[in-house]
Homo-oligomer: A and B are copies of this chain.
Amino acid sequence: MKSYRKELWFNTSKRVEFINITREVEQAVFESGVKEGLCLVNAMHITASVFINDDEPGLHQDYKEWLESLAPHKPLSRYKHNLTGEDNGDAHLKRQVMGREVVVAITEGRLDFGPWEQIFYGEFDGQRPKRVLIKIIGE
């Protein structure tokens, strides 16, 4: 069994931002040499997500507005978590809706994807350095 590990770093210019990381994950699969296996991609921070969906700007705007309606950023006093001095209570909730991680099959050395699947880093409390972990196992 082979295993491979890689980190991706991000420092977004906005508080909430989605970044397509499909090519970086494909590159990691290539580097791993794994032909058949599983690829885990997870946010290493608890106010960010990794998710799979469409690379369509209108949809991304829909996600941002919808998540803001489900868990508004303000008023900050809405969240007990913000009593710790943080202002990211909402980000911890948004991340649960969008998910921490994805697991993707690797088949014949490639991400085994449907026609529109793309992997995104979802940042909900950005403007600071944060990481994604890629872990690949297989043969």
Number of interface residues, chain A, beta carbon within 8 A = 59
- As a 0/1 sequence over residues 28 to 68 of chain A, the CB contacts with chain B under 8 angstroms (1 = contact) are 00000000111010111110000111101111011100100
**Please, which residues of chain B bring their CB within 8 A of the CB of A44?**
113-115, 117
How often does this chain occur in the complex, in copies? 3
With A37-B137, A38-B135, A84-B56 as known contacts, state yes or no: A51 contacts B96, CB within 8 Å.
yes
Inter-subunit contact B97/A81 (CB<8 Å): no
Contacts from A to B (Cβ < 8 Å): 1, 3, 5, 36-38, 40, 42-46, 51-54, 56-59, 61-63, 66, 70-71, 79-84, 89, 92-93, 95-105, 107, 112-117, 131, 133, 135, 137-139
